[in-house]
Amino acid sequence: MAEAVVSFLVERVGDFIIQEGRSLSGVRDQVERAHTDLLFIKGFLKDADAKRRDGEAIRIFVAKIRDAAYDLEDVIEAFVLKVDSKRKGGIQNVLKRLGCIFIEGVRRHKIGSEIGVITITISDLKQNLQTYGIKEIRDSSTSLQLCEGQQLLRRTYTHVIDRNVVGVEDSVHELVGHLVKEEHRHRVVSIIGMGGSGKTTIAKQVYHHKEVTDHFDCLAWVCISQQYQVRDVLERIYVKLLCPTKEEREEIKNLNDDEIPGRLSRLQNEKKCLIVLDDIWKRETWDFLKAAFECHEDSKSRILLTTRNEQVASHADENGFHYRPPALNESESWELFEKIAMSGRKAGIDAEVYTKMEELGKEMVQHCRGLPLAVIVLAGLLARKNTIKDWVTIRENVGVYISRGFGRLEEEHAYVSWVLALSYDDLPYHLKPCFLYLGHFPEDHEIRMKRLTRLWIAEGFISLTKQRQSLGETMEDVAYNWLNELVERCVIQVGERSSTFENIKTCRIHDLLRDLCLRKAEEENFLQIVKGSHKNEAMHPVSSSSSMVTYVSSMGKIRRLAVYLDENDDKLVSSLGERGGHLRSLLYFGPSDNYWFPKRKELIPSMFKDFKLLRSLMIEGMNDGEVNIELPREIGSMVHLRFLSLRNSNIKSFPPFLGNLICLQTLDFRVTYNFMFIPNG
């Protein structure tokens, strides 16, 4: 009887192996096709980003395509980790798995079904591309007209003198010295800073400074911006330096394109010329223009350029002088605000009203964080508001008013978000998700470089080409280089550097750039934020649990979540229901960087079993007094997890199930207890 049972099982095992092989082969084919689709989708998204179309139809279409790419990526990775990795061990392994045949089949069927659903979605999107005429939008002249309009709005003119200038005297004095004094031999002097930091204002003050006008024989100012024509730029410079007659102007117009650079170069050798290149964005721009600026070593001509990108300044002249304008201090910010918003009010309104406005103004100007453009926009808005009620209304949501602008300012594109958004739009495709990831971190947070770059790696943002590998570079090297590039582009600021190698230890992001980051993250459904009792204007409140308020985007699944806790929160996260099943990143932040969670029993609820696709999990500072924190076993099933930080937590033992995390790259287990032993796993 026993022999018959064994014989029956062996026969069934043979049939099972054949059927499993056929089934697995079919699913693998689906996965391979899905992987090919994913490559094409990522290529489309990169192309769409390069074209920067602003139409609502395009935006929605790209968002849905991006969502499908996430889904495909999740399915492919789930197959590789949960199905394909289990196909080993021969007949003994099969015998062990006989009890799981049904579950395995269901899982494989589910993967096939999910791929099928996504494929249908992509097919429908392709159909909609034609149905709604999105291709025609892509080929229309609307975008070109928009670029031309932006170029005109960005153009600067030296005859337009800024009347409201504050806090630039020291900057102007230093820059003038580097241009006119004999001991300074810098061919190129660069002013580098984020959008709205006052680069152009300072350059104008330098350009019109008496020492400068007395020292140089001729001066020329030209605004480059992002859309420019090389011939047009060089011709304008030549005309301004030469001050030609009408006949000479006609002659210049008839010159060949390759004649103008030579004439400009000779003129700079013969005379002392100052050329200001305002708002130059790319190194390639300098390469197109530099033939006109080739001069003898003893030439007295100089170039002053303004840029948001330090790489541009270094590329133009590696020995040049680089100057970064400091932010306005508190008194300078108030002086600038007062000139615009309070000028002439004192004589026309009640003293008590004026005092209240002054009090509200000083409070609101703090939100500008020393950025001159933000102060000017806020002051310009309040200059037209004549009642305390209006000022209080703006004070209630001052960040939105500064960054987005309202009324006349909005119509003139003179608001901060448009200026700052230019820096985001100019980021290379690979740096945009790295920038958006900064939105996870709370306002004024000092971000540790190693933590940030390891999170980027865990998310899959960092790519390591074969060429880089052959040079011995690691993903950490690439991530650090990308961080440096964001610093050079003035979208993030260096906090602390290591004393030994001058490497970046911490970085931070300006509040207004963080606002931009959150708006872009919302548009692309990149991340969501859960807060305590505070509201976040960039997100939409959809549910409340205990003292927590959840903010999620109105479109797509939740992929990344940042949770800001305070002392009143009694849970780590409110329930996300089915929407949490696609979560990739879950980061918790307390009231401070070295926070202690309150004494609660349910610090980590069992709901983590829903987060099967999680790649990054940061829960630091779990310290419940004398109580030892135990990690739930559900974390051991998060096989996609790459980054896990439990730093400064009250954990006594190293859970053996952490050995199941086969994809883990970073584990920060610097907890409050010393371990006697760590399991082999």
pLDDT along the chain (681 residues), means of 10: 43 44 53 62 66 62 74 72 52 42 50 65 63 46 45 54 78 94 86 90 93 95 81 91 86 88 93 94 91 90 94 92 93 91 75 89 89 86 85 83 55 58 84 93 89 94 76 88 90 83 85 85 85 44 34 62 75 55 85 55 59 86 66 81 85 79 86 65 62
Do residues 620 and 445 make contact, with C-beta atoms less than 8 angstroms apart? no
Do residues 202 and 168 make contact, with C-beta atoms less than 8 angstroms apart? yes
Pick the closest to residue 264 from 286, 233, 310 (CA basis): 233
Q: Which two tokens stand for residue 90?
A: 């021969």
- The pLDDT assigned to 56 comes to 63
CATH, residue 476: 1.10.10.10
- The pLDDT assigned to 202 comes to 93
Identify any residues that bridge with 531 across adjacent strands, giving them in sequence order: 549
Pick the closest to residue 64 from 132, 2, 145, 118 (CA basis): 118
Kindly list the distances between the CA atom of residue 260 and the CA atoms of 230, 231, 247, 253, 281, in Å, as whole numbers in the listed order: 10, 8, 16, 10, 23
* Boundary-marking domain end, from 91, 112, 139: 139
- The pLDDT assigned to 162 comes to 65
Do residues 530 and 563 make contact, with C-beta atoms less than 8 angstroms apart? yes
- The pLDDT assigned to 552 comes to 41
Do residues 333 and 306 make contact, with C-beta atoms less than 8 angstroms apart? no
Pairing of strands 447-448, 504-508: antiparallel
pTM equals 0.72
* Boundary-marking domain end, from 393, 418, 443: 418
Report the C-alpha gap between 191 and 32 in whole angstroms.
51
Q: Answer yes or no: is 335 within a domain.
A: yes
> Letter for the amino acid at 99?
G
- The pLDDT assigned to 209 comes to 94
Q: Answer yes or no: is 237 within a domain.
A: yes
Query: Do 203 and 319 sit in the same domain of this protein?
Result: yes
Query: Do 157 and 296 sit in the same domain of this protein?
Result: yes
Annotate 303-352 with DSSP letters as a single string.
EEEEES-HHHHHHH-TTSEEE-PPPP-HHHHHHHHIIIIITTTTTTS-HH
Query: Do 114 and 164 sit in the same domain of this protein?
Result: no
Instruction: Report the domain count for the chain.
Output: 5
Q: What residue has token string 């305590």?
A: 532
Decide: helix, strand or coil at residue 540: strand
Q: Answer yes or no: is 219 within a domain.
A: yes
Do residues 438 and 448 make contact, with C-beta atoms less than 8 angstroms apart? no
Domain that holds residue 28: 2-139
> Letter for the amino acid at 297?
E
Q: Answer yes or no: is 70 within a domain.
A: yes
Query: Do 603 and 505 sit in the same domain of this protein?
Result: no
Q: Answer yes or no: is 148 within a domain.
A: no
Decide: helix, strand or coil at residue 417: helix
Query: Do 649 and 671 sit in the same domain of this protein?
Result: yes
* Boundary-marking domain end, from 418, 446, 475: 418
Q: Answer yes or no: is 144 within a domain.
A: no
- The pLDDT assigned to 329 comes to 93
Query: Do 179 and 316 sit in the same domain of this protein?
Result: yes
